[in-house]
Structure formats: structure tokens, C-alpha cells
Amino acid sequence: MNTERLKEVLTQARHETGKVIIGQHDVIEKALIAIFTGSHALIEGVPGVAKTLLVRTLAHVLGADFARIQFTPDLMPADITGTNVFNLQRNEFSLIKGPVFTSFLLADEINRAPAKTQSALLQAMQERVVTIDRETHLLPPNFTVFATQNPIEYEGTYPLPEAQKDRFMLKITMTAPDRAEELSLAQRTMTKDAPETLLAQGVVQPVIKAEDLVALREGLVAIVIRDELIAYLVDIVRATRAHESVLVGAGPRATQSLIMAARAYAAMSGRDFVTPDDVKIMAPAVLEHRLILRPEFEIEGLAVAEVIQQILQQIAVPR
């Protein structure tokens, strides 16, 4: 499938999603990038900024199944993956599939469940299979995890281990809408134009079928990225491991994620080639959740985002 078709679908998906999600244009773009690269995204934002509604809307627009898991301290791995139950009529065990058997999975407040439960998603996210009682089951080819977490409420939470954070291609930060957007939301509340109402009444139209997503992803291969840009991108990721304030830098999976993200951003911008700006724009979302700062620099108030900007300024941009 050519890049023109990919650009057309991305534009339509962004437009249809924008009917429900007021503002948040950057968030919608990054969520689409995660989907069209076959990756996963970690969404961080305060309650009420439409994190769940965003994923529901994207699933509807892209013709995909949707399931939601509310992570709580008492959630068990079997509640996610499913379990075998003995069927008395057939005199055999039958698989009761868990919510992980879907296309778009919203792991709501993922850091509220302990590590054992969080890790139930590791195999699914990496290999798109689930093992239940030593039997492996395939997940849908479009399986995508959107995990949400609250950035301010840490009491009673279990921080995601580094191995799991690294499996998220992007960290998407959802902020509160600006005044004009919040005014628009207030005016639409309890009317036929309320975001939830638009989605329920079918005003938002699907732009493709779920089975078309695989073919569209193949179109990203046609997006050209020059060798000099690949070297530039690799130098950025490697610089995170050498920076004086960084305790743990980004690994090779970050390099792969940044290449895919830059290609998808170029396609969304209507180009069939990657520019240095594409790399710079996507680098913070790809790298931020992968870096751990040294304690002494955190105490001084240094933020990971500042470190990434310092690195981007230090690495020479190819011409």
C-alpha cells in the first residue's frame, strides 16, 4: 500500500478522532503513531482529561475491538489473561479468555497493581501471545496496549519496572485543555454534541477496517530515512548513556522505536522521507520514560525532559 493511502488514512483518523477529543492534537498524533507502528503507548495525565475516551474513540475509528482493565491492588494475572475452567458437560477444560484477547487494550491506572500482575502483560506486549497453563495462544495482529497512569498520585501505587517501561514505544503526556478548549467542552456538555454522545450516536465514522491496519503498516517501509539520519538518531540514543546526569540510559529498543516513530511522523506530515526535525520532535516521547537520572541531579530539580533537550542541542544535525 503506497504512502499516499497511508497519509490519507492518518489524516482521516486524526479528523474523526478530533470530533470527540477536544484539543489534544499532539496526543492524537502520537497515539496514531503508536498504532500504525504496531507498538504500545504509556499515557500519563491527571484524571478527567479523556485518556479512556481517546482509546475508545481510536478503536472505533480504526474498526478495532476495545477492552478495558481497571488495575487494582487485588487484580490477579488470570484476570488479565484468562484461565481454563472445567466443563462438566464436555468433561474437559475450556479456555475462558481474559480481556487481553482484544485489539486495543486500555490498562487503566496500570501502576495500581503489583509487579506480578503488571508482568502478565510483558509476554503479550513483546510477542503478541499469551501462555495459559503452558499452552500458548495468539493475540490479534493489531494488539496494542495503552496504559494510563496518574502523574501526581503515588500513594498506593507500584512503579513500573524498567523492563516493562521499555516495551512502551512512547510516553504520551495529556495535559488539561486550554481555556478556549475547556469552554467548548463546557458548552457541549449535556447536549447532543457532548463527546460521549457523538461516539455513542455514530457521528464518528470508522475510516478503515481492522484487517487493513497490517497493510497500512507495511507502507511505512517506503518512508525513506537516509544513512546520515540513522547515524544521527543512533548518536542521540547513545548520548543518553554517557550524559553525566543519567544513571540508566536508553537501550537499543529505543533506537528502533525512534526510527519507527520518525517514519510514522513523516507519513503523518505528508512526506515520504524523514527529516532531522522528525527525529527531534519524536525523541522526547520515545526517550523520556526510559531514562533514570542520578539522585543528586534529581534533588537539584533537573528534569528528564531538560536532559533530552541538552542532548539534542549537543549532537550535530546532518545536512
**Per-10-residue mean pLDDT for the chain, 319 residues long?**
78 90 90 94 88 93 94 92 85 87 94 88 90 89 92 72 89 90 87 83 86 85 92 96 94 95 92 94 96 91 93 91
Indicate the Cα dihedral angle 104, 110, 115, 119, nearest 10°.
10
Helix 25-36 crosses helix 3-18 at what angle (to 10 degrees)? 140
Which domains, and CATH codes, for the chain? 20-208 (3.40.50.300), 223-319 (1.10.8.80)
Give the residue among 288, 223, 217, 232 at the shortest CA–CA distance from 41: 288
Q: Which cell is 65 given?
A: 475491538
User: How many Cβ atoms sit within 10 Å of the Cβ of residue 176?
Assistant: 12
Residue type, 103: S
Give the residue among 101, 176, 111, 98 at the shortest CA–CA distance from 147: 111
8 A C-beta contact, residue 288 and residue 304 = yes
- pLDDT given for residue 58 in this prediction: 94
- pLDDT given for residue 35 in this prediction: 94
Distance (Å, rounded) from C-alpha 220 to C-alpha 8?
Answer: 13
- pLDDT given for residue 8 in this prediction: 86
- pLDDT given for residue 191 in this prediction: 85
CA 207 to chain centre: 20
